[in-house]
Chain A
Amino acid sequence: MKTDAMEIEVLSYRGIDVLKVYGDIDLYSSPGLRKNLISIICKKPGTLLVDLSNVSYIDSSGIATFVEGLKNMMCYGGRLKFIGLPDRIREIFSFSRLDKVFEIYDGIDQAI
């Protein structure tokens, strides 16, 4: 378990918040992710990009965290977009049909 392996970086790209996650998102690391995600969403950004290009694994706790973020953003018309999904994460999203739930783009320029 790479519990403490997850790191988060919050960047701004052309005025849009980008949450860049590194490592595994699992039961142990998702509370830290939630804290960061909620603190950004509290400011009600129109769009929030989540860069998963450096994430090697996400479990259902991590997905539930993003579902919570999405639900919160939908309340005020905000959009949560994912970019840079590695093949392994893309497989998880594909199995889970999360492409029907989340907006997924290859890169940052396609997403904005």
Chain B
Amino acid sequence: MSEKTDLNISVSRDYIKGLEKKVSDLNTLIDVSAIISSTLDFNTLITLIMEKAKAVMNAEACSLLLYNRVTGKLEFEVALGENADTAEMLKKTITLDMGQGIAGWVAENRSPVLVEDVSKDSRFFKEADIKTGFITKSLLAVPLVGRGGLIGVAEVINPVGRAPFTEYDVEIFQTFCTQVSVAIENARFHKDALEKERLHQELELAAVVQKSFLPPEPSLIHEPFELSAVNIPAQKIGGDLYDFIELKDGHIGVLIGDVSGKGISAALYMAKVISDFRYIARIDISPDRVLNNLNAMLSRTSLSMFLTAIYMVINTVKEMAEFSIAGHPPIISIKKGVVDIINDPSGPPLGILPEFVYKKDDLSFDAGDRLFFVTDGVFDVTDCNGERLGFGRLSEFIKGHASSEDLMKDLLSFVEGYSVETSKTDDITMVEIRRR
């Protein structure tokens, strides 16, 4: 059959019908592009797109299965048909392994499939039809593959009011699915970006909360003693801690500690340490017993985390101090200009050996004496060649600057200067005790 046009060209009606179909399909693809640009909300987007897929392919139903990278399975995300409850039922009850069912085969082989009669295809997975009451006769399934690999599989099922699915339908549905893949990846990136932003805000808040566990001021003057501290977390939140605590009868407790690990777990552990410490330190004035008790409390947790610490109790009246060390870098003492390293008596970090008995020692102060406590982040910094500063070089620097009035500031500049070209990976905490 043909008809004559004004230009005297003879074309078949089928040809014109075919052209009209192609124009309509192209318009639909343009519509899909518009949908993709209209929203970045993942759930809204995929429902809109799959509705469009169902319409453009003149299908009775359609479904979208997403690939779960953790489980390695395909999970129903969207299923559009007559029954609105179908999707929920499929989501809850059916997952497909790679290679299982037609969708699993498509996912595994990254290749589209056109099945005119599913009853004759051994790959067909009947369970979904049995569960939903839907009858699948014919289907077209296409893999969704993005830059990051397999995304999932899209299916259109049972052509309605039209001829069976054809190779042309495969072609058009593949083009359609390419756009869907881009849209899904974009929406996922957007979702990830929002999640990152939320986490960033949570971390900002956590940093404020964590800071509140440290003394409100980084210095304390209790004549004739002056205490000061610097605490610089490597990340938003850190595992280093220090505390100044005024005890009875003119005693001051000074704690420095370093929790194993970093990040949120270390910050939470640090909060527990500070809370337990403040409770124990109010009850007992002897540093060894405080560390014994703290060790017992921290060892009760099933975690493998631990705390290195120095705890010193200064008697401001008698101008002397008692201290205990638990696996922490040594105390650096400057007495009459002479630098000394005090590393005894020290026990293992707290929280590992519940029965360990920590010991204490004492020291006396003269005018001008200074003590420094540091965490390992101070001397574990690396230079541009990856060489660590080390405790030896740190103490050498202190020996060379023992008379400096602002030694802690000088020390910080020295450490930052040494590691200026490398990123900070550990928290830096320093405490200075000065007998004026």
Asked if A60 contacts B260 (CB within 8 A), the reply is: yes
B304 close to A (CB within 8 Å): yes
Q: Which among B79-87, B140-148, B343-351 touches the partner chain?
A: B343-351
B213 close to A (CB within 8 Å): no
Q: Which among A10-18, A45-53, A78-86, A96-104 touches the partner chain?
A: A96-104
A105 close to B (CB within 8 Å): no
A58 shortest CB reach to chain B, Å: 10
Compute how far the CA of A60 lies from the CA of B305 in the bound complex, rounded to whole angstroms.
9
Q: A60's contact among B261, B343, B388, B390, by CB below 8 Å, is which?
A: B261
Asked if B347 contacts A100 (CB within 8 A), the reply is: yes
Q: A59's contact among B304, B326, B329, B426, by CB below 8 Å, is which?
A: B426
Asked if A59 contacts B346 (CB within 8 A), the reply is: no
Compute how far the CA of A96 lies from the CA of B327 in the bound complex, rounded to whole angstroms.
4
Compute how far the CA of A65 lies from the CA of B303 in the bound complex, rounded to whole angstroms.
10
Shortest Cβ distance from A26 into B: residue:
B425
Asked if A100 contacts B304 (CB within 8 A), the reply is: no
A95-B329, A95-B391, A97-B327 in contact; A1/B425 too (CB < 8 A)?
yes
Q: B425's contact among A27, A63, A100, by CB below 8 Å, is which?
A: A27
Q: Interface residues of A: mostly helix, strand, loop or mixed?
A: helix
Asked if B425 contacts A96 (CB within 8 A), the reply is: no
Shortest Cβ distance from B261 into A: residue:
A61
Compute how far the CA of A100 lies from the CA of B355 in the bound complex, rounded to whole angstroms.
12
Q: B347's contact among A1, A60, A65, A97, by CB below 8 Å, is which?
A: A97
Asked if B305 contacts A91 (CB within 8 A), the reply is: no
A-facing mask of B125-164, CB < 8 A → 1, else 0? 0000000000000000000000000000000000000000
- CB-CB < 8 A to B380: which residues of A? 57, 59
Contacting A at CB under 8 A, from B339-384, are 343, 346-349, 352-353, 356, 376, 380
- CB-CB < 8 A to B423: which residues of A? 1
Contacting A at CB under 8 A, from B290-313, are 304-306, 308
A67 close to B (CB within 8 Å): yes
- CB-CB < 8 A to A96: which residues of B? 308, 327-328, 348-349
Shortest Cβ distance from B375 into A: residue:
A60
- CB-CB < 8 A to A57: which residues of B? 380, 388
Compute how far the CA of A70 lies from the CA of B391 in the bound complex, rounded to whole angstroms.
27
A112 close to B (CB within 8 Å): no
Compute how far the CA of A68 lies from the CA of B239 in the bound complex, rounded to whole angstroms.
18
B-facing mask of A1-13, CB < 8 A → 1, else 0? 1100000000000
Q: A64's contact among B260, B348, B425, by CB below 8 Å, is which?
A: B260
Tally of chain B residues near chain A (CB < 8 A) = 33
Compute how far the CA of A1 lies from the CA of B388 in the bound complex, rounded to whole angstroms.
12
A96-B349, A97-B349, A101-B348 in contact; A71/B327 too (CB < 8 A)?
no
Asked if A65 contacts B352 (CB within 8 A), the reply is: no
**Chain A interface category by residue count:** 20 to 34
Compute how far the CA of A35 lies from the CA of B14 in the bound complex, rounded to whole angstroms.
65
Q: B348's contact among A26, A59, A97, by CB below 8 Å, is which?
A: A97
Asked if B260 contacts A98 (CB within 8 A), the reply is: no
- CB-CB < 8 A to A68: which residues of B? 304
- CB-CB < 8 A to A64: which residues of B? 260-261, 304-306
B258 close to A (CB within 8 Å): yes
A27-B262, A27-B425, A61-B262 in contact; A98/B304 too (CB < 8 A)?
no
Residue of B263, B327, B356 with most partner-chain A CB within 10 A: B327
B330 close to A (CB within 8 Å): yes
B407 shortest CB reach to chain A, Å: 21
A39 shortest CB reach to chain B, Å: 16
Shortest Cβ distance from B304 into A: residue:
A68
Asked if A61 contacts B348 (CB within 8 A), the reply is: no
Compute how far the CA of A65 lies from the CA of B346 in the bound complex, rounded to whole angstroms.
22
Asked if A101 contacts B305 (CB within 8 A), the reply is: no
B293 shortest CB reach to chain A, Å: 18
Q: A97's contact among B262, B305, B346, B376, by CB below 8 Å, is which?
A: B346
Contacting A at CB under 8 A, from B252-269, are 258-263
B386 close to A (CB within 8 Å): yes
- CB-CB < 8 A to B306: which residues of A? 60, 63-64, 67
B110 shortest CB reach to chain A, Å: 29
Shortest Cβ distance from B299 into A: residue:
A71
Compute how far the CA of A91 lies from the CA of B392 in the bound complex, rounded to whole angstroms.
10
Asked if B352 contacts A67 (CB within 8 A), the reply is: yes
Asked if B356 contacts A95 (CB within 8 A), the reply is: no
- CB-CB < 8 A to A61: which residues of B? 260-262
B321 shortest CB reach to chain A, Å: 21
Interchain Cβ contacts under 8 Å between A and B, 21 examples: A1-B423, A1-B425, A26-B425, A27-B262, A57-B380, A59-B425, A60-B239, A60-B258, A60-B376, A63-B306, A64-B304, A67-B304, A67-B306, A88-B388, A88-B390, A95-B330, A95-B343, A96-B328, A97-B347, A100-B348, A101-B353
The 8 closest A-B pairs by CB, nearest first: A68-B304, A60-B260, A64-B260, A96-B327, A100-B348, A97-B348, A97-B327, A67-B304
- For the complex with contacts A57-B380, A68-B304, 4 further pairs of A-B residues with Cβ separation under 8 Å are A27-B263, A64-B260, A98-B348, A100-B347
